Amino acid sequence: MTRLPTELVSRLRPSLGGRPCCVTGGAGFIGGHLVDALISLGARVTVIDDLCNSNAAHVAGLMDLEPERVRFVHASILERAALEDAVAGCDAVFHLAALGSVPRSVEEPSRTWVVNATGTMRVLEAAQRAGVKRVIYSASSSAYGDNPALPKRESMAPEPMSPYAAAKLAGESLCRAWSACYGVETACLRYFNIFGPRQAADSAYAAVVPAFIKSLLAGEAPTVFGNGEQTRDFTHVSNAIAANLLAATSDRPLAGEVVNIGAGERTSVNTLAGLLAVLCDRPGVVPDHQPERIGEVRDSVADISAARDLLGYQPVTEIKDGLTQTVRWYRDELAPGNAR
């Protein structure tokens, strides 16, 4: 369960209590945490997810607990009727459904474009037709590409380096267009390397934090692509959830604003491997280095001042606490006999 500061919860509850909203991709990693938070704040939530990269277990558990307030539409955002059903009556849509992973997008560029770009347009169209007030879009820091300037600021020209980055960036343009032409309020949250409990660790496209933890807990060396000196702004999932909730409840009219959502701290992959090795009781383990992957950027860290100014965002969990909590979760999850 994502823990948010008490003060933030008290501020958000009056605006979200009883509010009908839709979370696309709500069976996935970040979406699942967002649904948890919305339910705990009293909202009514419809999840639409085709389960292509997740399973129904978490949402099913929430439906058992809160049958009146959680609804699941098992469908793709590309299925018009199902999408219309999912957003009907909602006043906010959190759009997270997408095919993640830069390497997967290099292998499957067309599929990535259809789900991530065309899919975003379908969500905006459905929101517009249903009279949804606001769509909060999960954008990606990959939009900055290899522009060497740090920290990344929203005013920098985007330089997408992969089909994934190009499609996520197109989603931002679509949000802005739907605000300008059709009056649907939109906000684009550019996440920087989100990690936390329940992030997929098993797929070939697993993100670096769960992949490292899984290897380390299995007694294996983590695989580092390249020399490991590439840097990222590793951001605990609670920060992304706080940003979504702030964007949904902001009094300011929103028209496609793009804001970075990170922790604002730069960590190399080698440092990450060292931190996780200690937390997994494997200090001194030597990573297995493999060739650099195509489409990956060199360095990334967020300037989060725009999110602070526009939304009142500030990170709620810093990297070390976030990693500690995440390793604890994977230890429980991977413990022998745990059938979760």
Give 47's contacts (C-beta < 8 A, 6+ positions apart): 22, 23, 24, 26, 27, 31, 35, 59, 70, 71, 72, 73, 86
Asked if 27 interacts with ligand NAD (CB under 6 A), we say: yes
Q: How many chain residues bind ligand NAD (CB under 6 A)?
A: 30
Among 2, 4, 21, 49, which residue sits at the site for ligand NAD (rule: CB under 6 A)?
A: 49
* DSSP helix/strand/coil, 21: strand
| Tokens 């602070």 found at | 308
Q: Is 164 a catalytic residue?
A: yes
Contact present, 106 and 296 (Cβ < 8 Å): no
Stretch binding ligand NAD (CB under 6 A), from 29-37, 176-184, 304-312, 320-328: 29-37
SS3 content of the chain, % helix, strand, coil (to 5): 45, 15, 40
Closest to ligand NAD by CB, 94 or 215: 94
Closest contact distance (angstroms) between CB of 79 and ligand NAD is 8
Tokens in use for 269?
């992959």
Q: Select from 21, 30, 258, 307 the one that contacts ligand NAD (CB under 6 A).
A: 30
Q: Which residue has the tokens 């997008």?
A: 105
Q: Which of residues 223-262 bind ligand NAD (CB under 6 A)?
A: none
- Asked if residue 194 binds ligand NAD (CB under 6 A), the reply is yes
Please answer whether residues 216 and 174 qualify as being in contact, where contact means their C-beta atoms are separated by less than 8 angstroms. Answer: no
Please give the C-alpha separations between residue 108 and each of 142, 145, 204, 297, in angstroms, as whole numbers.
Answer: 17, 19, 14, 19
Told to check if 29 binds ligand NAD by CB under 6 A, we report yes
* Rounded Cα–Cα distance for residues 127 and 95 (Å): 10
Q: How far is the CB of 237 from ligand NAD (least distance, A)?
A: 8
One of 73, 99, 258, 311 touching ligand NAD (CB under 6 A): 99
Whose Cβ is closer to ligand NAD: residue 126's or residue 194's? 194
Residue with smaller CB distance to ligand NAD, 276 or 285: 276
Q: Are the C-beta atoms of residues 291 and 221 closer than 8 Å to each other?
A: no
Contact status: 197 vs ligand NAD (CB under 6 A): no
Give the footprint of ligand NAD on residues 105-164 (CB under 6 A).
Answer: 115, 119, 138, 140
Largest alpha-carbon pair distance within the chain?
A: 57
The CB-of-109 to ligand NAD minimum distance in angstroms stands at 15
Residues that bind ligand NAD (CB under 6 A): 25, 27-31, 48-54, 76-78, 96-100, 115, 119, 138, 140, 168, 191, 193-194, 207
Q: So which residues are the catalytic ones?
A: 164
